[in-house]
């Protein structure tokens, strides 16, 4: 009695332009080289099982890949899940089949048939077919060879799941929009209620009688202090602000536009204070250089004086 022919393959070929496939390039760009390794692992698993498919849910596939590759440089389990989902979205594995617990793809099935021809094996796609009519003719596969019941059930399940997912997605979008609208409304109310609420820095101006607590430019003052703090150290602004408040209590001339004056003075003074250490260091270095130059001049003068005392 003849030994039954193996469904699987002991090896498979990898095209030299494998990495030129736009889907592989996108996979690499999104998740790096580890995603490519996971895909090749999946190919090994499929070709070594039923030859062109293996029965496994998306969750089972993710867990298996994570267990196989778990180690120092392995990404997290959630990353492995995301990589497999990306493969399904880009059709590296068929999304509908995967949702029904079958790992295969059109490309895998074409590769399977080509390998069978090269190895001179009488292999055919008998279930879960993703081949077109033209491809079935090319590979001499007849309709009656295929277990259409399996594919039909998966297709029907996929359609039902797709409709449910679509309805769920629409509901989710509506709920998110509703929450977003409520949040925006609450933020708008909160924003306008607090629009004229002075910040701590602005309150110092009010407490010192420099501006009124009903000044319409309070939001502008709040924004000014935030802008300066984002550009300089808080301690530098605090020093400059202290000098400014002390001066504004007894200005040397009348100030018509208080906000414009404070903005100009605060930014300039804070910038000056922030570079004080640099100026101090510069003048200290300059002082050292001048002292060195002075010593050199005195040395030269003493040398000339000694030369004058020589008898020749």
Q: What tens digit of pLDDT does each residue of 177-232 get?
A: 565 555 555 544 454 556 678 889 999 999 999 999 888 888 899 999 999 988 88
Is 7:63 a contact under the CB 8 Å cutoff? Answer: no
Q: What's the pLDDT score for residue 309?
A: 55
- Cα(254)–Cα(75) distance, rounded to whole angstroms? 67
Quote the mean pLDDT of the chain. Answer: 80
To the question of pTM greater than 0.85 for the whole model, the response is no
* Greatest extent of the chain over all pairs of C-alpha atoms, in Å: 130
Q: Is the pLDDT of residue 56 over 90?
A: yes
Digit-coded pLDDT (tens) for 142-187 = 776 676 555 554 555 554 454 555 555 556 656 655 655 555 555 4
Question: Which string of DSSP letters, residue by residue, matches 156-225?
Answer: HHHHHHHHHHHHHHHHHHHHHHHHHHHHHHHHHHHHHHSTT---HHHHHHHHTTSS-TT-TTHHHHHHHH
What pLDDT does residue 185 have? 52
- For residue 269, pLDDT over 50 is answered with yes
Please give the Cα distance from 27 to 31 (Å, whole number).
6
Inter-residue contact 46 to 108 (CB < 8 Å)? yes
Q: What is the mean pLDDT of residues 292-309?
A: 68
Which pLDDT band holds residue 68 (cuts at 50, 70, 90)?
A: confident
Give residue-wise pLDDT tens across range 94-127: 999 999 999 999 999 998 888 888 877 777 788 8
The position carrying tokens 């080289």 is: 33
Task: Assess contact for 202 and 241: CB atoms under 8 A.
Answer: no
Please give the Cα distance from 52 to 8 (Å, whole number): 8
Residues 6+ apart with CB under 8 A from 135: 110
């Amino acid at each position: 009695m003849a030994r039954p022919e193996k469904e699987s393959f002991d090896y498979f070929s990898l095209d030299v332009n494998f990495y030129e496939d736009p889907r592989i390039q996108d996979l690499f760009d999104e998740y790096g080289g580890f995603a490519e390794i996971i895909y090749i692992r999946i190919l090994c698993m499929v070709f070594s099982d039923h030859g062109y498919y293996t029965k496994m849910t998306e969750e089972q596939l993710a867990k298996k890949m994570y267990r196989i590759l778990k180690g120092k440089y392995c990404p997290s389990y959630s990353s492995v899940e995301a990589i497999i989902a990306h493969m399904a979205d880009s059709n590296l594995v068929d999304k509908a089949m995967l949702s029904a617990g079958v790992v295969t793809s059109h490309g895998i099935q074409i590769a399977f048939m080509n390998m069978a021809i090269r190895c001179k094996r009488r292999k055919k796609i008998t279930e879960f077919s993703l081949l077109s009519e033209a491809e079935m003719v090319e590979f001499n596969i007849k309709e009656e060879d295929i277990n259409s019941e399996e594919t039909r059930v998966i297709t029907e399940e996929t359609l039902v799941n797709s409709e449910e997912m679509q309805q769920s997605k629409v509901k989710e979008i509506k709920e998110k929009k509703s929450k977003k609208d409520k949040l925006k409304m609450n933020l708008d109310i909160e924003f306008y209620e607090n629009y004229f609420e002075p910040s701590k820095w602005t309150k110092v101006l009010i407490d010192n009688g420099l501006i009124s607590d009903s000044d319409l430019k309070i939001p502008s003052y709040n924004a000014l202090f935030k802008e300066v703090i984002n550009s300089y150290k808080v301690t530098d602004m605090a020093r400059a602000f202290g000098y400014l408040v002390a001066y504004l209590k007894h200005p040397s001339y009348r100030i018509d536009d208080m906000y414009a004056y404070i903005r100009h003075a605060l930014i300039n003074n804070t910038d000056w204070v922030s570079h004080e250490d640099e100026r101090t260091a510069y003048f200290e270095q300059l002082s050292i250089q001048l002292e060195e130059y002075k010593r050199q001049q005195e040395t030269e003068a003493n040398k000339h004086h000694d030369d004058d005392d020589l008898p020749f």
